[in-house]
Amino acid sequence: MSYEVKLKNRVANVELIGQEGDKILVAVDGKEYTLDFVKLSKGKYSILYRNKSFNLELIPGSNAKKYQVNTFNKSFDVEIIDAESKYLANRHKSTEDEGESVITAPIPGRVIKIMVEKGEEVEAGQTLIIISAMKMESEFKASKPGVVIDIKVSEDQSVEANQELVVLEYASEEA
Amino acid sequence: MSYEVKLKNRVANVELIGQEGDKILVAVDGKEYTLDFVKLSKGKYSILYRNKSFNLELIPGSNAKKYQVNTFNKSFDVEIIDAESKYLANRHKSTEDEGESVITAPIPGRVIKIMVEKGEEVEAGQTLIIISAMKMESEFKASKPGVVIDIKVSEDQSVEANQELVVLEYASEEA
Amino acid sequence: MIKKVLVANRGEIAVRIIRSCREMGIRTVAVYSDADRKAMHVLYADEAHHIGPSPSSDSYLNIENIIKAAKASKVDAIHPGYGFLSENPAFSARCKKEGIIFIGPSEYAISQMGEKITARKIMTNAGVPVVPGTPGKISSEEEALKIIEDIGLPVMIKASAGGGGKGMRLVKKPKEVKSSLRAARSEAKTAFGDDSVFIEKYIESPHHIEFQILADQHGNVIHLFERECSVQRRHQKIIEETPSPILTGEKRREMGDHAVAAARAVNYEGAGTIEFIVDKDLNYYFLEMNTRLQVEHPITERVVGVDLVKEQIHIANGWELSLRQDELKQNGHAIECRVYAEDPENNFMPAPGVVTHIGIPYGVGVRVDGYIYEGFEIPLFYDPLIAKLIVWGRDRNDSLERTRRALKEFTIAGVKNNLQFLERIMNAEEFIKGDYTTHFIEQNRDFLLKEDTCDKTCEDVVIITAFLEYLEKIRKASPKEMTAIKNNWKDYSRVRSVLKL
Amino acid sequence: MIKKVLVANRGEIAVRIIRSCREMGIRTVAVYSDADRKAMHVLYADEAHHIGPSPSSDSYLNIENIIKAAKASKVDAIHPGYGFLSENPAFSARCKKEGIIFIGPSEYAISQMGEKITARKIMTNAGVPVVPGTPGKISSEEEALKIIEDIGLPVMIKASAGGGGKGMRLVKKPKEVKSSLRAARSEAKTAFGDDSVFIEKYIESPHHIEFQILADQHGNVIHLFERECSVQRRHQKIIEETPSPILTGEKRREMGDHAVAAARAVNYEGAGTIEFIVDKDLNYYFLEMNTRLQVEHPITERVVGVDLVKEQIHIANGWELSLRQDELKQNGHAIECRVYAEDPENNFMPAPGVVTHIGIPYGVGVRVDGYIYEGFEIPLFYDPLIAKLIVWGRDRNDSLERTRRALKEFTIAGVKNNLQFLERIMNAEEFIKGDYTTHFIEQNRDFLLKEDTCDKTCEDVVIITAFLEYLEKIRKASPKEMTAIKNNWKDYSRVRSVLKL
């Protein structure tokens, strides 16, 4: 039984070679690991590899093939890749629009002030909009020079997480 | 919707009269309660009654109608009673044997020493058997004078929880 | 004697206050907004009263509703915690009028100290050094621009009625003046309903050191030494320690005396904090007085050996202080780390959400004050502070080592948080040396935000675990046990296609 | 310098030792039996080595396997914790032979102090008072019976090689002599492989007070004051406090000096405890020395301000003690409550099982050392101690109030435990007064086991909650959503019959 598993930019091939009780023999990109693999409770695992103790926690992601994996001090987004994922990944790529940037609200909040107007040219670092959430005001700034092509909210409006706020078109394609 | 609910020796009649969101109107033995009833997570509840704050935890019991309910500092066994429960309760009662007493192991352990023999007369407080569990030896004693009518284990034997150890027949019916 | 207290607050501080009340045999009443029905303080108090919709202006800042709850629950006293109404003179006055003890200072002391310009004058008269700069509350943009020109950059713009970093802006470059001024005033308007500001010379390389004081109703005032609070982000503290690694014994005594003098100058009563700004030559200036309990009060509790909430209640009861200045001593060293639901990599953006797992550190020298539990949804309406880690050690190095251990043991899943960022601070050379200023975060941003490496083995173990969990899920859903699949044919076909791979 | 330590133990003490090692930057190796693969110490250590089947004789007492794990993991040192091999002189010797530092005293000190009769002689020679009674190790029943007759009842029979209450019996009535002697010898045989016993005059109304000592390799010996350990059940401590409420300053100094003399008499090295039995007139007698860390060491840590495990490691490193007797002071008061998985209502019968929920107390003055987590199954092979609650207060009354609060906050579900029993102790008049003896539990049994009342409202709320949860379960299973029932027709018919009621 083998799959491709994606972690950050790495796509590793993982194969289950053998299993006997808690002892598991598995290969990652050809490197074999004999692990003592134990489930503690829902989503929590203890792994001993060459006597090193690893504690991992898995939180289900947005679909059945995605996980957030937490180690002692780090958090990773991991995805199991199968034919379906590959197809979707390819399709998604083609719809990306490179010269445009949509500023979205990272968390729910309220629009305090809109500092720009539609059609206005903005400089890198210029504040576009101020959002208040959890008693903290955050200024959203342009990362590069560009033009405001749309403003999708109004002042004093409540916004949801990921709601689109301002759409910019960048002047040039420089990173 | 109403049921009988058993707590210790009390059997209370409980009726759900109305519900609107978290606000619940319910009657226990005719006394009406308006509660703010909120589920915090699986089996955990917060209840406000006349502004008093109650935190309760429900642990499923041995069957779907039994619960262990924990308050801040107490634990209760609660049972929902329906026709089936009543039938079973009646049947169980008739099989009880009043003059006999079976000493059972409360937790898994090992028989260290059997201090009596089959047929022996024992006094109140006399040690019958010594069981070791969790590094602690426990002496099981006769609560009243009687006769050992059976010994169901042997020394050094491992025993399970609730396993029968020694059967006594009490001399008289005095409590 | 106080027998029943309403806590006009939420979050960790409400729970912390209820704890001390419970120890003293005092019954407690929580108040809560719509968003907080499941919050810890509601669960933990003896009683709970609903006081309004989720926005704090409609609930935790709503004096009428809180007084109504206090009367309905027949409390003797109200503890305001920090933030919300704690430094609102009208609330203190209202409690008095209603015959309810306000556990905190009088309307007079709060309003004198709450108004920065007045406070400045009082301090000057009391012989306490103040920050060089132009006094005066400013309400028009023109006036502000002129004053900034007079003082010269850099300057700090502060909300006149402010506190907690809200309505505060540092201005270094001329082109930032206007936008910063507008942003500060807008924030001040939202937070305090008053957009007037106050402008001061900005002190380069400053330390932020504050003194805890206690004053009873009989004229006794003591200080409980200092807290070094220079590690700040967005002008808000995230780490505090005591003793300060830069103070000398002599300077400590001198500043302590000034702190006591500052409190005396407004006939202060209760627990309070005198904040000083200290430059690299240990010159210090009065910055402001916080006329309430501070977030970081537990490090003082640990090192001095007191329970400040109990002291507040004793004072409100009219008792004389049982602590004497000459008997107080700093024993060992304590560090507080503020755990926020926020994203350090995204400019410390608050991050509300559902907490799926918490692992709390325990053991020698470790205290955690928090209010979240597994399954709790952190509301988006309030401060993102979710827990405070307070660590004690025999000396600074010992408490640093222990804080590192405790942070490693501390895990929160489900919401973004700053635990890893805090751990990095504990490993930053400048912090370890102990001579850091309020620019610390800014100047060490690259180090503090550097991603921790996970070596090849660690990465492979992560990959394997996700893989094995996925296999288990598929096995459970395998055709042999199809009865368990709840009739979900879409799942089934996907499993089939997966198995064929 | 020690860089890597194997902890030859399990449970809370293994976790506690790993914590201090981690703070010092020392890598840690856990060892585990079959039953302990999921135990906290395995999860918490850097490495973990399997050392055998579940019974401790095959794992945690198996010297060969532990030494093998130590060599495989290339540790510099072994920390034995308490119990298991901690007081086994052969283990100390074996470590030395293998070139591994044993974090504890030498074979000589352990064996001298471990053998009660030898220890008695050494103490007599060192001028330390010993319990009146007949010395001598007794191997035959006849000899024992004769000696008991000589001393006169009451007497205490103790396993010669014993400790921790095992193989110990109090005999008051002539008719109990034989059965007690047999039971003690049988228990001693099982626990220590040696059925020889030791008989002493039994002191009526005794207090059990012990002194913590630290001794380095350079001849420096200090004591860190006393712990009052008189609250015992089945001859095992359940509550300890420091300072002792009955000691005077003068008596404390005198006993401390004797404790130091006792340690010196065996060239002691490391942390150790001198136990004294104290009568109502404050006459005290050497009882035994525990040549290891005690379960109750944290109350000393809190009041004196040290980390005893760190001190042990410093000593094992060959460092000189950094603490000086004349600088040590008791600050405030601390109480430890031992939380056991046991049933107080059934003669404290151990109660293994799966922990379904834990609510740990936090806040000012509270420390919890434990090792269980939600979902963990407490194995039946080992000691039922699952957590220790250590509470500090400014004075005894303060720490009592706080302990009550913390115990109320402490909840464990899934396994029977003694939390409520501990809470009752904190409310017992005799304990509050502070003048209690080792008979405290026995004499207050009725009060301590009295059922807490739950008033009518509380009872009704319990009933309503169970009722509503059951209704919800039934609703979820209602015919409209039958697809969710996983094809379980038995459930379905039951639901139907219920709905018809």
Cα(C183)–Cα(C168) distance, rounded to whole angstroms?
A: 9
Nearest CA in chain D to A47: D43
Per-residue pLDDT band at B89 (split at 50, 70, 90): low
Burial (Cβ within 10 Å: 0-12, 13-18, ≥19) of residue C182: middle
Mind listing the pLDDT tens digit for each residue in A21-49?
Answer: 899 999 999 999 999 999 998 889 999 99
DSSP C243: S
Distance CA C195, CA D297 (A): 57
Rounded CA-CA distance C393/C140 in Å is 50
Where do the domains of chain A lie, and which CATH numbers do they carry? 2-81 (3.30.700.30), 93-170 (2.40.50.100)
Residue B95 has pLDDT above 50, yes or no: no
> D114 CA to chain B: closest CA distance, Å?
20
- pLDDT level of residue B45 (50, 70, 90 thresholds): very high
D82-98 pLDDT, tens digit per residue, is: 999 999 999 999 999 99
Mutate to test the interface with C, among B40, B47, B70 (most CBs of C within 10 A): B40
pLDDT band at D480 (very low <50, low <70, confident <90, very high): very low
Let me know if C22 is a catalytic residue: no
CB atoms within 10 A of CB A8: 11
Decide: A132 and A109 in contact? Cβ < 8 Å: yes
Distance between terminal CA atoms of chain B? 42
pLDDT band at C477 (very low <50, low <70, confident <90, very high): low
* CA nearest to D362, candidates B24, C360, A51: C360
CB contact under 8 A, D43 and A38: no
What is the average pLDDT value for chain C, to the nearest integer? 90
Which residues 281-300 of D are in CB contact (within 8 Å) with C?
Answer: 298
**ipTM value > 0.90:** no
Cross-chain residue pair A56–C461, CB shorter than 8 Å: yes
Active-site entry in C10, C120, C227, C292: C292
pLDDT at residue C352 tops 70: yes
- Terminal Cα-to-Cα distance of chain D (whole angstroms): 75
Chain-chain contact of C22 with D331 (C-beta, under 8 angstroms):
no
- Look at residues C208, C255, C206 and name the one whose alpha carbon lies nearest to residue C228: C208
Q: Which of C315-329, D7-21, D113-127, D323-337 has the lowest mean pLDDT?
A: D113-127
Which residues numbered 429-468 in C keep a CB inside 8 Å of some CB on A? 452, 454, 457-468
User: What confidence tens digit (pLDDT) does each residue in D173-223 have?
Assistant: 888 888 888 888 888 888 778 888 888 888 888 999 999 999 999 999 999
Q: Are strands A75-81 and C270-278 parallel, antiparallel or unpaired?
A: unpaired
Report yes or no on chains B and A touching (3+ CB pairs under 8 A): no
Q: How confident is the model at residue B86 (pLDDT cuts 50, 70, 90)?
A: low
Average pLDDT, chain D: 90
DSSP B42: T
Q: In the prediction, which pLDDT does D488 show?
A: 34
DSSP state of D133: S
For residue A97, the model assigns a pLDDT of 45
CA distance C465 to D228: 49
Please name the residue of chain B whose CA is at the shortest distance from the CA of residue C376: B40
Q: CA-to-CA distance for C314 and C270, rounded, in angstroms?
A: 9
Q: Which residues of D touch C486 (CB under 8 A)?
A: 483-484, 486
Comparing D277 with D203, which gets the higher pLDDT? D277
Pick the residue from chain D with its C-alpha nearest to A40: D38
Mean pLDDT, to the nearest integer, of B110-133? 86
pLDDT band at A86 (very low <50, low <70, confident <90, very high): low
Q: Which two tokens stand for residue D330?
A: 């008791």
Q: Is D22 on the interface with C (CB under 8 A)?
A: yes
Q: What is the mean pLDDT of residues D22-46?
A: 97
Contact C399, C333 (CB under 8 A): yes
For residues D298 and D11, the answer to whether their CB atoms sit within 8 Å is: no
Torsion sign, CA atoms C336, C339, C340, C342: positive
Question: Mind listing the pLDDT tens digit for each residue in C174-206?
Answer: 888 888 888 888 888 887 788 888 888 888 889
Calculate the CA dihedral of residues A117, A118, A123, A128 and round it to 10 degrees. 60
Give residue-wise pLDDT tens across range D324-337. Answer: 999 999 999 999 99
Distance CA D332, CA D398 (A): 9
Banded pLDDT at C164 (limits 50, 70, 90) = low
| B46 closest CB neighbour out of C29, C42, C47 | C42
Which residue in chain C has the smallest CA separation from A75?
Answer: C413
Compute the distance between CA of residue D345 and CA of residue C105 in angstroms, rounded to an integer: 50
Chain D residues lying within 8 Å of A52, measured CB to CB: 46-47
Confidence of residue D398 (pLDDT cuts 50, 70, 90): very high
Instruction: Write out C175-242 in H/E/C secondary structure.
Output: HHHHHHHHHHHHHHHHHHCCCCEEEEECCCCCEEEEEEEEECCCCCEEEEEEEEEEEEECCEEEEEEE
Evaluated on CA atoms C287, C293, C294, C299, the torsion sign reads: positive
Provide the pLDDT for residue B172.
56
Tell me the C-alpha distance between D297 and D328, whole Å: 16
Give me the phi and psi of D64, to 5 degrees please.
-55, -50
Neighbours of D397 (CB within 10 A): 12
Specify the higher pLDDT residue, C47 or C164: C47
> Closest to B45 (Cβ–Cβ): which among D349, D463, D465?
D465
Cα C97 from chain centre: 30
| C353 token code pair | 């959400």
Q: What's the mean pLDDT in D453-465?
A: 90
Interface check for C35 against chain B (CB to CB < 8 A): the answer is: no
Length of chain A: 175
Tell me which of B169 and D302 has the higher pLDDT.
D302
Minimal C-alpha gap between C37 and chain B (Å): 8
How does pLDDT run across C246-263, given as a tens digit for each residue? 999 999 999 999 999 999
Q: Which residue has the tokens 């996980």?
A: A67
Closest partner residue to C190 (CB to CB) among A3, A127, A132 is: A132
Which chain A residues touch D42 with a CB distance below 8 Å?
Answer: 46, 48, 53
Helix (H) or strand (E) holding C121: helix C116-125
Burial of D402 (0-12, 13-18, 19+ CB in 10 A): buried
Contacts of C38 in chain B (CB under 8 A): 38, 40, 46
Cα–Cα distance between C199 and C133 in angstroms, integer?
A: 7
Query: % helix / strand / coil in chain D, to the nearest 5?
Result: 40, 25, 35
A-contacting chains (≥3 CB pairs under 8 Å): C, D
Say whether pLDDT at D113 is over 80.
Answer: yes
Residue D362 has its nearest CB partner, among C368, C394, C408, at C368
* Closest Cβ opposite residue A136 in set C56, C350, C463: C350
- Cα–Cα distances in Å, from D119 out to D131, D198, D290? 12, 12, 11
With touching defined as 3 or more inter-chain CB pairs under 8 Å, the answer for chains A and C is yes
* pLDDT band for position D495 (cuts 50, 70, 90): very low
Element (H, E) at D260: helix D249-265
Which of C37, C374, C376 is facing B38, going by the closest CB pair? C37
Q: What percent of chain A has pLDDT over 70?
A: 86
User: Would you call C346 an interface residue with chain A, using a CB distance cutoff of 8 Å?
Assistant: yes
| Axis-axis angle for helices C116-125, C107-114 (nearest 10) | 100
Shortest Cα distance from D300 to chain B (angstroms)? 27
Report the pLDDT value the prediction gives residue B88, as an integer from 0 to 100: 58
Residue B93 scores a pLDDT above 60: no
